[in-house]
């Protein structure tokens, strides 16, 4: 499983903003690998950084109101 998929799985399960250090402890991946993966996920629109804080990451929620 790729780093991106592991991170998405954890973010979906936790359903709260996580810091890079927390993701590092949960996955065992190197911090630099996690940051690169988060950047790719952000560019793909799959995650967001709440309050403009690049230290925390949150799974991006899709609109569920049917529009």
- Positions in the chain whose pLDDT score sits under 70: 52-55, 61-67
Q: What residues does each domain of the chain span? A: 3-59
Closest CA relative to residue 8, chosen from 52, 55, 67, 26? 26
Q: What is the pTM of this model?
A: 0.78
Confidence at residue 57, expressed as pLDDT on a 0 to 100 scale: 72
Confidence at residue 9, expressed as pLDDT on a 0 to 100 scale: 93
Contacts of 50 (CB under 8 A, 6+ apart): 17, 56, 58
Rounded to an integer, what distance in angstroms lies between the CA atom of residue 67 and that of residue 49?
24
Which residues, in sequence order, are bridge partners of residue 58?
Answer: 48
Instruction: Provide the CATH number for the domain formed by 3-59 in this structure.
Output: 1.10.10.10
Structure tokens at 46: 């799959």
């Amino acid at each position: 499983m790729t780093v991106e998929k592991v991170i998405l799985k954890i973010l979906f399960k936790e359903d709260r903003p996580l810091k890079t250090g927390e993701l590092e402890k949960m996955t065992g991946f190197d911090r630099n690998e996690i940051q690169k993966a988060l950047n790719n996920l952000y560019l793909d629109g799959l995650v967001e950084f709440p309050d403009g804080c690049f230290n925390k990451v949150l799974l991006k929620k899709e609109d569920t109101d049917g529009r």
